[in-house]
Structure 1
């Protein structure tokens, strides 16, 4: 038995898309940097050291004395000899005045005054130790530093940008269609039969 059939064959429409990507270009040139560094201000003040050497006593020890010092020493020695003489004569006068105590004071005084004095001497150093006097005043150094800050001047460069927009092309890739087919379909009319 053949049944009538209607066949439908359809195709959907297909849309195609073709896309080109956007392009962005950025170029950044580095910043211009200017740095100026001034030298520091440096001031140095130096007070020189002072060395004093006093060898007056050492020269006096080897009998190289100034005339003023000789006059002063002779004056002091003469004055001391005067005082010693006055004291000796007063003592001798007292001894002679008390002759009643016995003894021979005049002979004893003559014997003492006629002898040369005995001087004590041991090891000596010429010039004597410590006769050269050295004094040193150290120097002073004053340092004054003034720091100058650097001068920095940046120059900013803008970025160069370029942009190419993307494109999208839309097109019909497949046309839609509908195919209708009949099979075993007959039209039976009045007095005739027709295959469709």
Structure 2
């Protein structure tokens, strides 16, 4: 006995896809920038150095003195000589007052006054060491700088954007089908 049979034959549906890519173009211009740098303000205060050289004593050691100094020294020497003379005369007067005690006061005074004065000699340097006085005061510089801030002006530019939209298209490339046959 033969049984009837069903035969089926199918073909699938095939889809076709067509696409076009999207396009994006961006153009960015440079920003407009303006910069200004003002000069810094600077203030300087200067105290000059001072150098004082006093060579008055060196000139005096070489006997090159001003007339005022010569007069002062002569007055001082005269005063000292007068005081020494007064002291010597007072001492000799006191010795002569006590002549009755003996001791040969007149002979001793004659002997002292009859001798030449002794002069002392020594090694000396003209001018004497350290006779030139030097005084130095260093100077000073004070600097005050105040920097100025940068003045900037920036104008940004907007980007130019071109966009083309992409697309996707679907279509049926092959139709699906189903064939059914009865075979006995």
Q: Is the structural similarity TM-score above 0.5?
A: yes
1:89 maps to 89
Matched, 1:78 2:84: no
Deviations for 1:84-118, whole angstroms, at most 9, x for unmatched residues?
Answer: 11111110001011011213212221221232211
1:126 maps to 126
1:15 maps to 15
35-44 vs 116-125, greater mean Cα deviation: 35-44
1:93-104 to 2 correspondences below 5 Å = 93-104=93-104
Give 1:63 deviation, angstroms. 0.8
Task: Return the structure number with greater relative CO, CA threshold 8 A, min gap 6.
Answer: 2
1:148 maps to 148
2-side partners of 1:140 and 1:26: how far apart?
Answer: 63
Q: Rg: which structure is higher?
A: 1
Aligned residue for 2:16, secondary structure, equals: strand
Q: How well do the aligned residues superpose, as a CA RMSD in angstroms? A: 2.1
2:58 maps to 58
83-92 vs 149-158, greater mean Cα deviation: 149-158
1:18-37 to 2 correspondences below 5 Å = 18-37=18-37
Aligned residue for 2:121, secondary structure, equals: coil
175-184 vs 36-45, greater mean Cα deviation: 175-184
Identify unmatched segments of 5+ residues in structure 2. none
2-side partners of 1:5 and 1:103: how far apart?
Answer: 191
Identify unmatched segments of 5+ residues in structure 1. 185-196
Deviations for 1:21-43, whole angstroms, at most 9, x for unmatched residues?
Answer: 22222222333333322222222
- TM-score, normalised relative to structure 1: 0.83
2:117 maps to 117
